[in-house]
Structure 1
């Protein structure tokens, strides 16, 4: 994803070549010489009208304003993910000796699962494909995690040996490790906090995967510690998307990663 966007200087906005002249035009951001206009694919926008990459909106790159005017669903989804991850990660880390994860089932079903899934659907309505994919997928993750821990579904009892179930859970977590790593690659031109969220989440899944497959209690506990860090980063991004000069004395400034084309643009 690091090469998805490239910047081409133009002699002027009227006479210079257009994105149609490039065979990869849909993957290019083209600036006029005075940088007043930007072409996204075959559409032309004023730079002041575009939105920058911002973790508070789960927007990983430069984007045009949405057609539909809805509220920002990202803080809701990020908060649902953060709280559920925080509680489970404390248990994985064996904080205060607690090891049973049953208390997470309710959170995983309704807050991390259902609420986050709904936030993902609203991300689709505001034309944010990345946000829709991320929130809906992790909403599905929490719903499926709850199913694993509800005896009525009979998932664990279907395995004759507990070790077989542990390995199967390891495979399950491995899939989420791969998926999260893919999303992380899509944030490498966004902001520091946005990138760190998916980086730490990928490492968390990796440690939990090793903890199940090895098996290794220490790796699982390390995954718990990393999960707590991930939860706080998620809350940070949620706060960034929620706080405004009208409701808070403390706002979060987005720090673009090197190579980001979002510098000078506004956040949603």
Structure 2
């Protein structure tokens, strides 16, 4: 009984696409978000699966007790097979203008949230003795600092890539695989906000910023949330049985390592 997958930040964007992809692959999905109504809307939109009905829950990823309680509950009732740490935020400001408050908030949600929820998931998986899989959403900005106006975000996502490796190394003997995905320029509501912010900071139009993104991408198109979801589906499949500790780029070639 390990057919349940928990997704954080599943109320919209990449998280909703991941939930959909996993449901299509037969996973019973527990959609979490700090916005419960958004999580419920995603869960209601998912295709039915044999494993059981999809569920929704409110989760603040910085709440250790809440994350632990959710992981233990899902493990006991449904069988926790996978946990996807997808929740994240971004602000765009010049490095010299980033406040300590904004820095702390970005690191709390993007990095500490992955630590807290990853720890909760791992503990529940170890206690159940069935192994499992964890996927963390990092970013192309977790592999290079050449990203304008996102210094705090870059720091958080570099941290996610390193944390993923540390988790994979320690949790492997317990049969738990841990990987991260590194999206590039993904067309989501978050990116729409970033286009407006970056255009304002550069003194250009949003469409000019988007063209810069396209010019940097060999495949010549922005990524979609579904592009990222497909890779998460792969990482949680038997096809990736020997893959752990990786930071898999999904960026159309915009950054190659």
Q: TM-score, normalised by structure 1?
A: 0.28
- For CA contacts below 8 A with separation 6 or more, give which structure has more relative contact order: 1
